[in-house]
Amino acid sequence: MRTPLVAGNWKMHKTAEEARLLVADMLGGLQAVSGVEKVLCPPFTALLPVAAMLAGTDIGLGAQNMHWEAQGAFTGEISPAMVAEFARYVILGHSERRAYFGETDEIVNRKVHAALQHNLTPIVCVGETLEEREADLTAKVIRRQVSGALEGFTAEQVSGMVLAYEPIWAIGTGKAATAEEANRVVAEVIRGTLTERFGEAAAQAVRVLYGGSVKPHNAAEFFAQPDIDGALVGGASLKADAFVAIAAAAKQA
């Protein structure tokens, strides 16, 4: 049995003060949802205040990115050790990082290695563009991203990771994939690639989330799918009621 996980990716939203207000709004509701791992991923500047509010709760904290080096002359970057002071999770390879900041599969792979070295659970994002989907390249692209991100790991290490299938055309557009379509990619392409590379046990142990316009009204459909273990939520994670409702839907599933 894979424990469902619902993670909120706040992206570049919320000052530290706004973050405190948002967490205060959702804290009680989220704590009332048992049996689901809940993770908040605010911007770096809000990690410290949010960590203080989540201390002693069952809600996890994650960063949205980090550098792969432990320290050094990388002006403007945040190291894995800095993230690990406050957080237990880190989103890596988000399509916005790949598209706007030039992150390649190789860079994502270095970051995933750094995450494990610092006891951080990576949430590794993969997903195809609309052009790739229309050219029937979805499987090829996702196989490449999964294999690239997980190069050099053992089956045991991979088993503890979290992957997120996020079709780029569904992110922030309000046009989610259908639940069946998302489940097919997760089962056949993502778990299929994991089985080939790491064996059946690891492929079945990894939690795979769906991300892309998950809202309270469609969350349950995704969570009802056998191979989808939760959601990475962008826009709806910025609204306390919506995010709590999505977490509650994961529990019911």
Provide the annotated active-site residues. Answer: 94, 166
- Alpha-carbon distance of 123 to 94, in angstroms, equals 9
Task: Report the residue number, 8 or 159, with the smaller CB distance to ligand PEP.
Answer: 8
CB of 194 to ligand PEP, least distance (A): 21
Interaction pattern, residues 136-175, with ligand PEP; x per rule: CB under 6 A: ------------------------------x----xx---
The phi, psi pair for 74, rounded to 5°, reads: -130, 75
Q: Nearest to residue 234, comparing CAs of 83, 96, 79, 77?
A: 96
CB of 236 to ligand PEP, least distance (A): 6
Task: Report the residue number, 30 or 202, with the smaller CB distance to ligand PEP.
Answer: 30
Q: By CB under 6 A, which span of 20-28, 129-137, 188-196, 233-241 interacts with ligand PEP?
A: 233-241
Residue 65 touches ligand PEP, criterion: CB under 6 A: no
Give the orientation angle of helix 16-31 with respect to helix 44-54, to 10 degrees. Answer: 40
Q: Write the DSSP symbol of residue 120.
A: P
Return the residue of 233, 244, 246, 249 that touches ligand PEP, per CB under 6 A.
Answer: 233
Q: Which residues lie below 8 Å from residue 208, measured CB to CB, with a gap of 6+?
A: 162, 163, 164, 165, 186, 190, 191, 227, 228, 229
CB of 167 to ligand PEP, least distance (A): 9
- Alpha-carbon distance of 59 to 55, in angstroms, equals 8
Give, as ranges, the residues between 169 and 228 that touch ligand PEP (CB under 6 A). Answer: 171-172, 211-214
Return the residue of 190, 202, 235, 240 that touches ligand PEP, per CB under 6 A.
Answer: 235
- Alpha-carbon distance of 184 to 198, in angstroms, equals 20
CB of 155 to ligand PEP, least distance (A): 27
Secondary structure (DSSP) of 69-80: SSSSS-TT---H
The phi, psi pair for 24, rounded to 5°, reads: -60, -35
Task: Report the residue number, 63 or 202, with the smaller CB distance to ligand PEP.
Answer: 63
Positions touching ligand PEP (CB under 6 A) are 9, 166, 171-172, 211-214, 232-236
